[in-house]
A and B are shown apart, each in its own frame.
Chain A
Amino acid sequence: MRKLKAHKASHVRAYREENPYIRRFLIIVSLLFTLILLVLPLLSVLVQAFGSGFALFWKAVTNIFTIKALYLTGLCVTFAVIGNVLFGLSAAWALTRYRFKGQGILVTLIDLPFAISPIIAGLIFILTYGRLGWAHPFLDEHNIKIVFAIPGLIMATIFVTIPFVAREIIPVLTARGTDEEQAAVLMGAGFFRVFFQVTFPHIRWALLYSVILCAARAMGEFGAVSVVSGHLRGKTNTLPLHIEILYNEHHYREAFAVSAILVIASVLILTARSLVERLAKKEGPQ
């Protein structure tokens, strides 16, 4: 018995002695990866962007096509966020508060956009609403343009971001249970009072957090949007598409300058995210 204990203790000590090396190794690996894959490239984007002086950067950024692309990206992000919140809250509520047929299918389908390649997502829209798509005659008749137009860009962006809010809210609602809501209903509260006064406070941080992630993803979306865009400069080019075109046309400085906008926006979003995390933690479970 005693022997066993002694053996155990020495084993623990040996492990502890090993620890500093493993520790150092693991830390170095993580830092190295971050440095090579993240920090250096990002810094070089900024260096390239501002390398030839602020004036040139400003000229590239205020170029009319850049501004139009920025506006379009903003539009896509806005609609993606709105669509996400509407869909996410509805789906989360329906899935956790009601029982209905097709519940299991809905749970699976919500994740589909994450699993599917964005280029497929884009092609789906072309095949449905494009010139050869089955919905095309109807759309054409009513003069609605989806593919190679702004609605297509928005729909593609919503498609690739749709799981964000739902995925974040469902576990929170499940964990919270329905007791508080039932208590409120018993006391005569209607749906909206229950939702905004009782349920919403529980999910507001998760909602904000997922909206931020959704915005980041929507802003950078390239694949699906690229397929449905048609690359009409000044018309259907979002920032990432605009950057690609600039780059392909060997306007490297402009490409980096416009990239800098996205990098800075990402940094801002990350800051907002950690701020939200901090605030949510501080408030804690009331």
Chain B
Amino acid sequence: MFVELKKISKKFGNFEASKQVSFALPKGALAALLGPSGSGKTTILRMIAGLETPDAGEIIIDGQSVKDLPPSQRGIGFVFQNYALFRYMTVFDNIAFGLKTQKTPKSKIKERVFELLSLIGLDDLAKRYPAQLSGGQKQRVAFARALAPWPRILLLDEPFAAIDAKVRRELRAWLRRMISRLKITSVFVTHDQSEAIEVADRIIVTNEGRVEQTGSPIELYRSPATSFVARFIGESTVVSDCRALVGFENAPEGEGAVRPEFVSVYAQGEAVQFENSVQDGEIESLAFRGDALEVSVKVGAYSLGANYSLEKPPLAVGDQVKVLIYRLYAFESGRAVLISNNRLANGGAGYNFAI
């Protein structure tokens, strides 16, 4: 493993910003630190960079503990949340800064800066000041500046947060391309799950200073380890009592989460294969999502999200429908357990579950 955090703890006063944080990333990984605001993502990033000192635990980069290594010796490129470009320096001088402090020869600096400028596609803007750049351009410059001194690890704090939605999609794809081309081990912070899923090959989910789970996007999606991850990833509806749903009478007592892809909706009169596995519901809202309808259906006290094929009989708000829930995540003392509809399991042998 190239970057490893072992039981890192950090307190600010009495507040525990990091609690026993551990994870490991292989060389070349592109990892996302994903979690709600205040969950300690930035703190983790800053401790890796050396801008913050952990109270306990160990950070290992390339087999070496970095405890006694000052920030500038760790080989870290850092892209700050608001870029933190040097406002009184040109784009060229911004990118050249890290090289100048390393006493790189002038000709070499020039070569490297122009190489990076062409990499980020801003060759013509070398003489501009940060204030004369768009948000996306600033971000690229910050990226180039972090990369200039050949760092071992690239850390990015909410790299897309300050950019408007349209440009953000472009930049995500761009960043992914760049990083996989440069093969540099990277960690970026985000609180947007779609961003993490789209860009990262590994996701570290944080919550209240703890790491909830680490894994590939698919692993997290398929098998959330904790109730927090089950809620946070995907568009789950949280139900306060699983046993209230038909087919889950034997589920563990308490809360659970139902994902849209766990739910099928049958219009009035439509054939239902396992009559006793369904329950009544009422359509609350409909939204067209290109290839399917996104419906919200009221089942008892809960509003469940579901997808509804356009091939099936048309639906309208207020329609009475039958609802089949194939499975759900039941929360058992903080863990998420996947439970199948017991009436299907009894009567629906051979049914093809598709997630």
Question: Residues on A close to B: CB < 8 A?
Answer: 179-180, 182-190, 193, 197-198, 201-202, 284-286
Contacts and interface: CB of A to CB of B under 8 A. Distances in A.
A107 to B, nearest CB: 20
A189 B94 CA distance: 13
A195 to B, nearest CB: 13
B131 A285 contact: yes
B129 A180 contact: no
A286 B72 contact: no
A179 B131 contact: no
A180 B97 CA distance: 12
Interface string B46-73: 0001110000000000000000000110
Given A187-B149, A189-B97, A286 B88 contact: yes
Which of B76, B101, B102, B129 has its CB near the most chain A CB atoms (within 10 A)?
A: B101
23 contacts: A179-B80, A183-B86, A184-B97, A185-B71, A186-B49, A186-B71, A186-B78, A187-B145, A188-B72, A188-B101, A188-B149, A189-B72, A189-B97, A189-B101, A197-B86, A197-B97, A198-B88, A201-B87, A202-B88, A285-B131, A286-B129, A286-B130, A286-B131
Contacts of B131: 284-286
Given A185-B72, A188-B72, A189-B101, A180 B49 contact: no
B72 A186 contact: yes
A182 B86 contact: no
A2 B204 CA distance: 58
A179 B98 contact: no
Contacts of A197: 86, 89, 97
B101 A187 contact: yes
A285 B97 contact: no
A184 B98 CA distance: 8
B87 A187 contact: no
Contact of B84 (A180, A201, A202): A180
Interface in B109-153: 129-131, 145, 149
A284 to B, nearest CB: 8
Which of A184, A187, A285 has its CB near the most chain B CB atoms (within 10 A)?
A: A187
B138 to A, nearest CB: 13
Contacts of B78: 182-183, 186
Which of A186, A198, A284 has its CB near the most chain B CB atoms (within 10 A)?
A: A186
Contact of B87 (A182, A185, A188, A285): A285
A42 to B, nearest CB: 39
Given A186-B72, A187-B101, A201-B87, 8 more contacts: A183-B80, A183-B86, A185-B71, A185-B72, A188-B149, A189-B97, A202-B87, A286-B88
Interface residues of B, number: 24
B76 A186 contact: yes
Interface in B220-265: none
Contacts of B50: 186
B279 interface: no
A285 B87 CA distance: 8
Contacts of B320: none
B82 interface: yes
Contacts of B86: 180, 183-184, 197-198
Nearest to B94: A183
A188 B102 CA distance: 7
Contacts of B88: 198, 201-202, 286
Contacts of A182: 51, 78, 80, 84
A286 B78 CA distance: 22
A190 B76 CA distance: 16
Contacts of B80: 179, 182-183
B84 A187 contact: no
Contacts of A187: 72, 97-98, 101, 145, 149
B72 A180 contact: no
Contacts of B149: 187-188
Contacts of A285: 87, 131
B351 to A, nearest CB: 55
A165 B76 CA distance: 36
A202 B131 CA distance: 14
A179 B145 CA distance: 14
Which of B76, B87, B102, B145 has its CB near the most chain A CB atoms (within 10 A)?
A: B87
Interface string B74-99: 00101010101111110000000110
A179 B82 CA distance: 8
B230 to A, nearest CB: 36
Contacts of B87: 180, 201-202, 285-286
B71 A183 contact: no
Which of B76, B84, B87, B130 has its CB near the most chain A CB atoms (within 10 A)?
A: B84
Contacts of B101: 187-190, 193
